[in-house]
Structure 1
Amino acid sequence: MPIKKRGTKGIWWIDIVTPTGERIRQSAGTQNEKEAQELHDRMKSKLWEQSRLNVKREYLWEEAAIRYLKEIQHKKSLDDDKRYLRWWTEAFRGRAINSITKAEAAEVVEKRYSAPASRNRMIATLRALLNTAIRDWEWIDHVPAFRVYEEPDGRIRWLTQDHAARLIERLPPWLATMARFALATGLRQSNVYELTWDRVDLRRRCVFIPGSMFKSGKDFYCVLSDDAVSVIRGQLGKHSTHVFVDRNGQPMSYWPRSNDSIMRKEMKSLGITDFVWHDWRHTWASWHVQGGTDIYTLKRLGGWETIEMPQRYAHLCVEHLLEPAQVTNLAQVRLTSAAQQKNKADESALSA
């Protein structure tokens, strides 16, 4: 049967067997039988052309996204890739992947994000999928030269203690709880909302983050401050498996855009700009340095692989360098030299 209804919404589905014996079943996206039949006929005609006239078949975005997701299950950035692919699907649903243009991609990411780094990460997921479609699947022949947004070097955005406290007070309780925990531990966004009770050890005051959640692949034990322990204890009994839950009391499988919208609204009311969730980690690290935590200890607390990352915060605290800086004080050198000469003269006078 070429078309048939499926589901309770009465959507028509297309069912075609190609000249090569391949079977294609997909939604026509309409409840109108005539429209579904016309789409079926166009697809069947195009498939005939592809088979008889050696025209390459056009693959839909949904086909590519599903296949790509199956092939990247091993990636440590899988959650991020899923989120970006979901947003690309909103834009390109029903489109042939060889019809996607550079300008369309730029329009999508610029509506979604303002930060250049976030735009580049979303574009990178699209580029990786299309490159796979060329290299491994041979579905398309080229990938557009997508725009790369210029990122500022070493962006560090942190809040004062007053601003942080006022912002957390304004957030809804379930979101404020996660913000407090991020600020108390320096953990990344996914490390917080995906935290499960089996990785919490209140006796040893630490939580375990598996290496699968880090680019380095190494396991990490995050030490809990008094405030972090207080937050954890406040979550006891709210869910059987997950420490943090959403407004409906359910664990989050991904970070919804609505969470960021809530934060932006409250930040605007406080005059806070250019602040994203990851900046809670920047704030945590900045406060540590300002409080006198040395860079090597901060590296261990934050789970960084190299010293370069925590080193970015070193400029926030220079008080401990004031005394060593006096070594090159020319005036001090002269005074010391004069004192030494006077002492020698006094010793000579006494010996005489």
Structure 2
Amino acid sequence: MPVFKRNGVWYAQVQYNGQRIKRSAGKASTRRDAVKLESKIRDDIVRHRVGEKPQYTIDQAVSAYIDEGVTRGTLEHIRTLVDYIEGRPLTHIHNVCREIRLDLQAKGRAPATIVRKLAILRAVANKAYKQWEWLDEPLGQKISMPKVQNERHVYLEPAQVRELAEACPNPDVGKMILVAAYTGLRKGELLRVNEGEAVCRDGLLMLDAKTKTGKPRVIPVPEEVEAIVSEMPLPVSEPMLRLHWKKATEACGMKDVRWHDLRHTYASWLVQAKVPLRTVQELMGHTTMAMTQRYSHLADDHLREAVEMMRQSQAG
């Protein structure tokens, strides 16, 4: 069929030379939008036949990128970019990225947030050049990223985590706070677990390859939150998490503590319990040991022991 609807989104589909060309008409599209898109695809094919390469827009390339599968977090970032990319030529993607970078910097957005958004568009540009052949040059190489300084980490004590959970106006969000701290799950992963997109068996949470790194993960569930995990799904959404987390941190005088600090807290508890860094890397789902090494300063007992051994040898 030339147009169809799936998960609330209209698509156009055309068969050409034994290949199926499918494009999304957009999140808020109608059947008429899909029909227009189908007509445009056919026009592009005609131009291609006579040697004129189809001219794609950035949002068309992003739609194709989404169709190949992305995480919830990536989708959230893409939604914030719609006003910048809609209708803009794909051949201008590096210039559009520069506009986005300058605008977000002027708005005071964190460098790490800007990098995450630009990295998505750079990945789109790379695919458009290397795989889809929609670009004649590697424009992804022209997309520069702002420098990100080493992020500050805040590590909470178990009592502080419980205080935040208890201060949360919504008890279910309070339970999610405890699960985040005792499993190290990213916010998106935690929401997916809550929605039933993970298997819990024999005290182990098994996440599929839709994690941030694109690799499956297995996370043991500590006794402290076993009962909460068994209760899931809880009636909690991402906006609810954001709202009630803010209220809890304000009530506890911890306004500078971010949700992601719960993940840092989990890593700090592991390291201070003398869990080997390689195991911490696996539990955190880090792609490289360098990411895990950021917590190595918490395991300083061996340094103290080394200095004490030196002192004793000199005294002897």
When Rg is computed on C-alpha atoms for both structures, the one with the higher figure is 1
Give the structure-1-normalised TM-score. 0.61
Pick closer, same or farther for the CA change 1:169–1:114 going to 2, 3 Å: farther
Give yes or no for the alignment of 1:118 onto 2:113. Answer: yes
Q: 1:189-204 alignment to 2 at 5 Å?
A: 189-195=187-193, 196=196, 199-201=199-201, 204=202
Q: 1:140-289 alignment to 2 at 5 Å?
A: 140=135, 143=139, 145-153=142-150, 155-171=152-168, 172-195=170-193, 196=196, 199-201=199-201, 204-211=202-209, 213=211, 215=213, 217-220=215-218, 222-233=219-230, 235=231, 243-247=232-236, 256=238, 259-260=241-242, 262-264=244-246, 266-268=248-250, 270-272=252-254, 275-289=257-271
**1:189 CA displacement:** 2.5
Number of aligned residue pairs: give it.
280
Question: In the alignment, what sits opposite 1:84?
Answer: 77
Give yes or no for the alignment of 1:66 onto 2:46. Answer: no
What is the CA–CA distance in structure 2 between the aligned matches of 1:275 and 1:117, rounded to whole Å?
17
Please say which of residues 88-97 and 125-134 is displaced more in the overlay: 88-97
State the identity %. 22
What is the CA–CA distance in structure 1 between the aligned matches of 2:131 and 2:277, rounded to whole Å?
45
Structure 1: give runs of 5+ residues left out of the alignment: 1-21, 30-42, 236-242, 337-352
Give yes or no for the alignment of 1:296 onto 2:276. Answer: yes
Pick closer, same or farther for the CA change 1:264–1:58 going to 2, 3 Å: farther
Mapped contact 2:24–2:63 kept (Cα < 8 A)? no
CA RMSD, Structure 1 to Structure 2 (Å): 4.6
What is the CA–CA distance in structure 2 between the aligned matches of 1:231 and 1:326, rounded to whole Å?
44
**1:117 CA displacement:** 2.2
Pick closer, same or farther for the CA change 1:139–1:311 going to 2, 3 Å: closer
What is the CA–CA distance in structure 1 between the aligned matches of 2:257 and 2:109, rounded to whole Å?
11
Q: 1:52-63 alignment to 2 at 5 Å?
A: 57-63=54-60
What is the CA–CA distance in structure 1 between the aligned matches of 2:123 and 2:222, rounded to whole Å?
40
What is the CA–CA distance in structure 1 between the aligned matches of 2:118 and 2:146, rounded to whole Å?
10
Give the structure-2-normalised TM-score. 0.66
**1:128 CA displacement:** 1.7
SS of structure 1 residue aligned to 2:109:
coil
Pick closer, same or farther for the CA change 1:108–1:164 going to 2, 3 Å: farther
Q: 1:302-321 alignment to 2 at 5 Å?
A: 302-304=283-285, 308-319=290-301
